[in-house]
């Protein structure tokens, strides 16, 4: 329905709204409204998860609500998602009515691309930190959203395989020994592996990154881990999960 509200800024919710906002979203809203320094963000409702589970597509009108909420967060932070000079980064996390730790998926550092990394390097003065964040984002997005992961317990994670190969090339033993140049190379190698395995390119458009991540987190409500956890803890599937999008 066009008039159904599916997105709530943190300041619009409260602790009584666990059914609609999930436990994490309701708690973030409550902390925001009592004046704690919570990084700005918004929550997509559990009802939206059920709509997505029923149809397999994100509902009409949701994107417009997300864009409006994102604009509010950008204003609060004084940053803009994907901006080359002053980039905003966000996390995309699940949040069911009751905690299900580690059962569903998360995407961090969303908003990084080849342009926004330059702005973040200028802001932080730390090239290595920025490229380490970028390679972690590409790895996480490739796994969670693009499904590039081991298909069974006998397979090696494709991203870890690339990392181990790079360590051997550089004759190092730990990830912390990678230079900024090494990490920049890993970003490109990760993207190439995603393209080779999935036939799709890693998206540079932060809006495409965001939309893909929202769908992936909703899908994770039905993954094998989550289903087993719900059965063990008598959590009804119709409760769904919220999605929390928060500035980093």
Coil vs helix vs strand at 235 = coil
pLDDT of residue 102: 86
- Percent of the chain's residues with pLDDT above 90: 89
Q: What's the farthest any 2 CA atoms get from each other in the chain?
A: 59
The angle formed by the CA atoms of residues 49, 245 and 213, to the nearest 5 degrees, is 60
DSSP 60: T
In this prediction the pTM is 0.92
Under-50 pLDDT residues of the chain: 1
Q: Extract the tokens encoding 96.
A: 């069911």
pLDDT of 2 reads 53
Strands of 46-180, DSSP E: 80-81, 87-88, 90-96, 106-110
Burial (CB count <10 Å: 0-12, 13-18, 19+), residue 199 = exposed
Is residue 52 within 8 A of residue 59, CB to CB? The reply is: yes
**Residue pair 136/109 in contact by the 8 Å Cβ criterion:** yes
Give the strand order in the sheet containing 41-44. Answer: 7-9, 41-44, 241-247, 90-96, 106-110
Q: Give Cβ neighbours of residue 155 (< 8 Å, ≥ 6 apart).
A: none
Residue 45: CB partners within 8 Å, gap ≥ 6?
5, 6, 7, 8, 20, 21, 242
- C-alpha distances out from residue 55 to 58, 141, 179, 219, 238, Å: 8, 23, 45, 12, 14
- Distance, in Å, from the CA atom of 17 to the CA atom of 30, rounded to the nearest integer, reads 10
């Amino acid at each position: 329905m066009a008039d159904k509200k599916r997105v709530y800024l943190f300041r619009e919710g409260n602790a009584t709204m666990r059914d609609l906002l999930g436990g994490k979203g309701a708690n973030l809203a409550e902390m925001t409204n009592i004046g704690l320094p919570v990084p700005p963000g918004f929550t997509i409702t559990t009802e939206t998860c059920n709509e997505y589970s029923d149809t397999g597509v994100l509902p009409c009108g949701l994107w417009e609500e997300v864009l409006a909420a994102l604009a509010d967060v950008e204003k609060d932070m004084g940053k803009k998602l994907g901006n080359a000079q002053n980039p905003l980064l966000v996390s995309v996390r699940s949040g069911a009515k009751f905690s299900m730790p580690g059962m569903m998926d998360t995407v961090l550092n969303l908003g990084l691309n080849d342009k926004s990394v330059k702005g973040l390097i200028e802001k932080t003065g730390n090239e290595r930190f920025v490229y380490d964040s970028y390679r972690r984002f590409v790895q996480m997005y490739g796994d969670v959203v693009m499904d590039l992961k081991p298909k069974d317990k006998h397979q090696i994670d494709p991203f870890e395989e690339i990392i181990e190969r790079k360590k051997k090339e550089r004759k190092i033993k730990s990830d912390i020994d990678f230079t900024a140049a090494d990490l920049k190379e890993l970003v490109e190698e990760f993207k190439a592996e995603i393209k080779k395995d999935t036939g799709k390119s890693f998206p540079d458009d932060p809006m495409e990154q965001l939309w893909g991540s929202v769908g992936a987190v909703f899908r994770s409500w039905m993954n094998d881990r989550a289903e087993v956890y719900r059965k063990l803890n008598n959590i009804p599937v119709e409760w769904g999960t919220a999605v929390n999008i928060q500035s980093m």
